[in-house]
């Protein structure tokens, strides 16, 4: 009869063998023994541990099934944040990504950046922590900083080593990976669920995510999950690799599974070649992928590139073309966007595509509708890519019947009834009632109250949304009939804040003609053009009565701008609202059209704090003399004017060799 000591020795032997067999089977794809032999040894270990439960350890292969169901998941802080990746859907997106990298790294076009390319597994991200080589923590991505503790469930995944392979692993290792479910396992799971009347999963990614969040690890163990590891978050008491390729080599040497399709390439051309090659074999892969990932290989270059928001600048997910499906167009109507553009929208018979049920799809514009010849009643191909708005790709003409109906372009805005317009050279049709159309109202108020326009301080996005949503404001002129009582009916609005807002609205009545023109939100009319119009006409009535020829006679105003201005002032709703605004008390000093244009052709940039006047005042005086005042320094800038505490614009001016002047020199220029 075997003694406890002999049993302990045998258990150690079995654990070592089984872990080694798992490593060769799951990581190296080189099985050492047949499945039957592995199963026999596994059962032997189970029997021995059942005889001596005190000899069971957490790294035993038998413990992957886990303990009793948990009642909740506790939160886990990641040692280093788990970031998302920016997405690219076109080659142009990828080329722009590559261009930005070359610019930030200050590389010549002839130099080839080294990229690591890998399939983008459509699974769920996890973070694994190994201390002294043993798996001690596993968590979901969560919000990138805090995830859910899923250790007991991850332990059931055979390709996740409970103990790292080899002996040269670091004291602490944080590994990132993607847990997924193969096509075969997914089909088996859904077939079983369907047979038993249970819930089926929509796609392998959802199945993997749902399986990882089971409170009972035994259920997770039955789901046949797998993993590919793709990076390191933290490494303590060990030499950190110098490149991403070295990371993958190290991770694999420690017994963690790495995707065999990963490849290192030179330059963006190599990335595109890889993308095409993986796309061609996508259907043959045993797991779901939705694109490829490009990462700068050298960590020194990654450090220079850094991060933006919640994504690294050195990595990009290049998504594959969207999934497609057939359905029928039941209707086509028009939605009015916040800028007044009318977009045709196809109403569809609900169809499941790209992992979601789709019942609406954009048709972009009328030119697109006519080019594709989409009609109501047509059978169409619908495409959906990730979270991108579904679109109609094409019509299946072979299925067209005589009962289909062509799309009729609306003559009037479906929201406010204004006659729609289409500017020359544009494909979009628009509602010109920018100030009064409810679909455009929030955007028009935000612009009207902005700093460069009427500058109504305290009138933020949240308050504007509330005022419009409850119907207190139906056009910009209603701002001037606001009362404290009306504001106090809104949530989280106190008397003091209401008084401040009303004071700011009252203060905004005293403005300039240029600011008022800009505040109207006429398309193509920015601050500089508004200033030019104010200086040329000196009177709002004259501007409103001007024709295209009058406008095109002004410097820097071409046919397109002239057309937009004429269209805006010909719209009855706009003229009525302007009269309401003037009646509410908006006023400005009488302005005599300027004839002194000695700064024509000169471009100024202001930076820092001026003493004799504000930057806005300096800007107006310069524009009155025909100068352009811009916010960014370029080779075309004539002067950069510096006040106290100038910003980065001064550095750029020095770099480009642009002439730099101080406030005293500016005053000399203004005084002639």
d(CA 589, CA 602): 26
Instruction: Name which residue leads in pLDDT, 376 or 144.
Output: 376
Give the range among 1-5, 435-439, 538-542 with minimum mean pLDDT.
Answer: 1-5
86-141 pLDDT per residue, tens: 888 889 999 999 999 999 999 988 888 999 999 999 899 999 999 999 999 999 98
Residue 518 CA to residue 507 CA, distance in Å, equals 17
d(CA 486, CA 467): 9
* Residue 25: band (very low, low, confident or very high) from pLDDT cuts 50, 70, 90: low
Other C-beta atoms closer than 10 Å to the C-beta of 461 total 10
CA distance linking residue 262 with residue 292, whole number of Å: 10
Choice among 99-113, 414-428, 487-501 with the minimum mean pLDDT:
414-428
Q: Rounded CA gap, 559 and 567, in Å?
A: 12
The mean pLDDT value of the chain amounts to 88
Write the class of the CATH domain 94-319. alpha beta
How would CATH label the architecture of 603-671? 3-Layer(aba) Sandwich (3.40)
Residue 195: pLDDT band by 50, 70, 90 thresholds? confident
β-strands 311-312, 307-308 pairing: antiparallel
CB contact set of 108 (below 8 Å; sequence gap of 6+): none
Q: How much of the chain, in percent, has pLDDT values that exceed 90? A: 47
Reported confidence tier of residue 207, pLDDT bands at 50, 70, 90? confident
- Assigned architecture for domain 427-592: Orthogonal Bundle (1.10)
The predicted structure's pLDDT at residue 205: 84
Same fold flag, 4-65 and 603-671:
no
CA distance 467 to 482: 10
Q: What are the structure tokens assigned to 179, written together?
A: 């847990």
Confidence (pLDDT) at 443: 84
CATH architecture, domain defined by 323-399 = Beta Barrel (2.40)
Q: Which residue has the tokens 């642009």?
A: 658
Catalytic residue list contains 419: no
Minimum mean pLDDT among 161-175, 211-225, 382-396, 482-496: which range? 382-396
Note the pLDDT of residue 133. 93
CB contact burial 180-209 (16+ within 10 A = b; e otherwise)? bbbeebbeebbeeeeeeeeeebebbbebbb
d(Cα 97, Cα 119) in Å, to the nearest integer?
Answer: 18
Structure tokens at 140: 């979901």
- Can you read off the two tokens belonging to residue 652? 């750029």
Beta strands in 363-470 (DSSP E): 379-384, 391-395, 429-430
Query: Which of the following is catalytic: 120, 257, 515, 649?
Result: 120
Q: Are 291 and 343 in contact (CB under 8 A)?
A: no
Predicted confidence (pLDDT) per residue in 592-620, tens digit: 666 677 888 899 999 998 888 888 888 88
> Tokens in use for 48?
């021995």
What is the pLDDT confidence band of residue 571, given thresholds at 50, 70 and 90? Answer: confident
Handedness of CA 65, 71, 75, 81 (dihedral sign): positive
Q: For residue 66, what pLDDT is reported?
A: 46
Give the C-alpha separation, 45 to 39, whole Å: 10
Contacts of residue 499, defined as CB under 8 A and 6 or more positions apart, other chains included, come to 484
**Where are the domains positioned within the chain?**
4-65, 94-319, 323-399, 427-592, 603-671
Sign of CA dihedral 130, 131, 134, 139: negative
Note the pLDDT tens digit of each residue in 137-158: 999 988 888 889 999 999 999 9
Q: Which tokens go with 447?
A: 């612009």
CA atoms of 220 and 28, how far apart (whole Å):
24
Question: Which residues are CB-contacts of 585 (< 8 A; sequence separation ≥ 6)?
Answer: 480, 509
Task: Grade residue 35 by pLDDT with cuts at 50, 70 and 90.
Answer: low
- Quick check: 363 and 347 in contact, CB under 8 A? no
pLDDT value, residue 388: 64
Spatial distance between the Cα atoms of 559 and 548, rounded to a whole number of angstroms: 7
pLDDT above 90: residue 2 = no
**CATH number corresponding to 4-65:** 1.10.287.610
Within a 13 Å sphere around the CA of 2, how many CA atoms are in the beta-carbon half? 11
For residue 49, give both structure tokens: 């541990």
pLDDT band per the 50, 70, 90 thresholds, residue 67:
very low
Local confidence band at 71 (pLDDT 50, 70, 90 cut-offs): low
Beta carbons of 533 and 545 less than 8 angstroms apart: no
**Cα gap 210→190, rounded to integer Å:** 13
Q: How far apart, in whole angstroms, are the C-alpha atoms of residue 522 and residue 534?
A: 14
In this prediction, residue 451 carries a pLDDT of 84
How far apart, in Å, are the Cα atoms of 205 and each of 23, 158, 482? 24, 18, 51
In terms of Cβ atoms closer than 10 Å to its own Cβ (0-12, 13-18, 19+), residue 585 is: exposed
Please compute the mean of the pLDDT values over residues 57-82 and round it to a whole number: 75
What burial class does residue 254 get, using C-beta atoms within 10 Å of its C-beta: 0-12 exposed, 13-18 middle, 19+ buried?
buried
Stretch (H or E) spanning 75: strand 75-77
pLDDT at 317: 93
pLDDT at 27 over 70: no
For 618-670, how does the pLDDT look when each residue is reduced to its tens digit (9 = 90+)? 888 888 788 888 888 999 999 999 998 888 899 899 999 999 999 999 999 98
- The owner of tokens 């109403």 is 347
What tokens appear for 173 in the block? 């290792």
Cα separation, 520 vs 530, whole angstroms: 10
């Amino acid at each position: 009869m075997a003694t406890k000591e002999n049993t302990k020795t045998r258990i150690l032997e079995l654990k070592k063998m089984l872990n080694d067999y798992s490593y060769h089977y799951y990581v190296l794809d080189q099985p050492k023994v047949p499945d039957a032999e592995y199963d026999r040894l596994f059962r032997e270990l189970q029997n021995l541990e059942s005889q001596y439960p005190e000899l069971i350890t957490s790294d035993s292969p038998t413990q992957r099934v886990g303990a009793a169901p948990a009642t909740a998941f506790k939160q886990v802080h990641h040692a280093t944040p788990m970031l998302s990746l920016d997405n690219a859907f076109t080659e142009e997106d990828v080329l722009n990504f590559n261009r930005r990298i070359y610019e930030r790294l200050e590389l010549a076009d002839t130099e080839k950046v080294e990229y690591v390319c890998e399939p983008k597994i459509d699974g769920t991200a996890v973070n694994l922590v190994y201390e002294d080589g043993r798996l001690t923590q596993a968590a979901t991505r969560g919000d990138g900083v805090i995830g859910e503790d899923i250790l007991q469930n991850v332990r059931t995944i055979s390709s996740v080593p409970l103990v790292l392979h080899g002996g040269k692993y670091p004291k602490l290792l944080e590994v990132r990976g993607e847990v997924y479910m193969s096509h075969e396992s997914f089909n088996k799971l859904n077939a079983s669920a369907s047979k038993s009347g249970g819930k089926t999963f929509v796609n392998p990614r959802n199945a993997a995510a749902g399986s990882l969040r089971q409170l009972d690890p035994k259920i997770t163990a039955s789901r046949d999950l797998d993993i590919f590891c793709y990076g390191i978050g933290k490494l303590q008491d060990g030499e950190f690799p110098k490149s991403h390729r070295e990371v993958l080599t190290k991770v694999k040497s420690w017994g963690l599974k790495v995707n065999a399709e990963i490849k290192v390439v030179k330059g963006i051309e190599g990335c595109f070649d890889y993308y095409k090659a993986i796309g061609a074999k996508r259907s043959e892969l045993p797991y779901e992928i939705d694109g490829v990932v490009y990462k700068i290989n050298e960590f020194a270059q990654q450090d220079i590139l850094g991060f933006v928001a919640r994504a690294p600048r050195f990595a990009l997910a290049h998504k594959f073309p969207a999934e497609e499906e057939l359905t029928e167009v039941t209707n086509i109507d028009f939605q009015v966007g916040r800028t007044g553009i009318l977009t045709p929208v196809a109403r569809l018979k609900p169809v499941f595509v790209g992992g979601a049920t789709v019942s609406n799809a954009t048709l972009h514009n009328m030119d697109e509708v006519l080019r594709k010849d989409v009609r109501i009643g047509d059978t169409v191909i619908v495409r959906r890519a990730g979270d991108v708005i579904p679109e109609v790709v094409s019509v299946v003409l072979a299925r067209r019947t005589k009962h289909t109906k062509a799309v009729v372009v609306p003559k009037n805005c479906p929201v406010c009834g204004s006659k729609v317009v289409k500017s020359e050279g544009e494909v979009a049709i628009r509602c010109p009632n920018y100030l009064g159309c409810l679909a455009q109202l929030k955007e028009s108020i935000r612009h009207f109250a902005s700093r460069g326009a009427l500058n109504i301080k305290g009138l933020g996005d949240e308050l504007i949304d509330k005022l419009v949503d409850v119907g207190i404001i139906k056009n910009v002129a209603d701002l001037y009939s606001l009362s404290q009582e009306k504001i106090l009916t809104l949530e989280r609005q106190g008397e003091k804040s209401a008084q401040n807002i009303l004071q700011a609205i009252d203060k905004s009545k005293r403005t300039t003609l240029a600011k008022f023109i800009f505040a109207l939100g006429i398309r193509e009319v920015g601050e500089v053009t508004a200033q030019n119009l104010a200086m040329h006409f000196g009177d709002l009535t004259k501007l409103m009565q001007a024709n295209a020829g009058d406008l095109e006679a002004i410097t820097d105003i071409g046919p397109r701008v002239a057309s937009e201005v004429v269209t805006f002032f010909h719209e009855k709703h706009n003229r009525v609202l302007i009269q309401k605004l003037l009646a509410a008390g908006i006023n400005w000093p009488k302005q005599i059209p300027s004839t002194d244009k000695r700064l024509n052709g000169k471009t100024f940039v202001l930076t820092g704090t001026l003493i004799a006047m504000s930057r806005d005042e300096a800007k107006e005086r310069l524009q009155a003399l025909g100068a352009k005042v811009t916010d960014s320094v370029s080779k075309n800038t004539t002067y950069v004017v510096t006040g106290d505490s100038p910003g980065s614009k001064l550095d750029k001016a020095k770099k480009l060799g642009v002439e730099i002047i101080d406030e005293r020199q500016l005053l000399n220029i203004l005084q002639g």
